[in-house]
């Protein structure tokens, strides 16, 4: 495999500006800082550096900060939405990728301040404009959370 093919197989990186171009989320609810390994129509890996200053830590849980599991699912959803939005080249403000369902959710390890999340998401199939994904949240080689989920592009409200 030549260098060009190897780079294509690894996918491309997406910086924060491009994340914000395709996703409507903003701080404090933007759950990915950037993405790597984007392969159009196939897969992406969202990245998030978890800071001790995250707004949810003071209340979840005082003295024992743990990132809420629902936010780990949201991070997978945002990574999937970025994959589909960039693949479909959705125009900001015209369409938004919205969750439809979450299945087979499992939480395996807590996420704490200082963790560096890798969020690999694969697009499994598209049926009747519904996108089906599987995703994980990983810290190093440990799986922290995983689920399958579905979403679709809907018109944005003006």
Let me know: does 71 contact 31? Beta carbons within 8 Å.
Answer: yes
d(CA 88, CA 131): 12
Tell me which residues are annotated as active site: 60
Q: In the numeric block, which tokens belong to residue 3?
A: 């260098």
**Closest by alpha carbon to 84, among 33, 136, 137, 154?**
154
């Amino acid at each position: 495999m030549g260098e060009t093919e190897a780079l294509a197989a690894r996918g491309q990186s997406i910086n924060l500006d491009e994340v914000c171009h395709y996703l409507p989320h903003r701080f404090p609810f933007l759950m990915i800082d950037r993405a790597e390994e984007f392969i159009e129509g196939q897969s992406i890996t969202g990245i998030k550096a978890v800071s001790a200053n995250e707004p949810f830590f003071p209340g979840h849980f005082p003295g024992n900060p743990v990132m809420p599991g629902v936010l780990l699912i949201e991070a997978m959803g945002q990574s999937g939405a970025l994959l589909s939005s960039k693949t479909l080249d959705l125009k900001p403000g015209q369409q938004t990728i919205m969750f439809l369902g979450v299945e087979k959710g499992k939480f395996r390890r807590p996420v704490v301040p200082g963790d560096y999340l890798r969020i690999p998401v694969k697009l499994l199939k598209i049926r009747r404009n519904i996108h089906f994904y599987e995703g994980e949240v990983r810290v190093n080689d440990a799986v922290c959370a995983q689920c399958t989920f579905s979403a679709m592009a809907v018109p944005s409200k003006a």
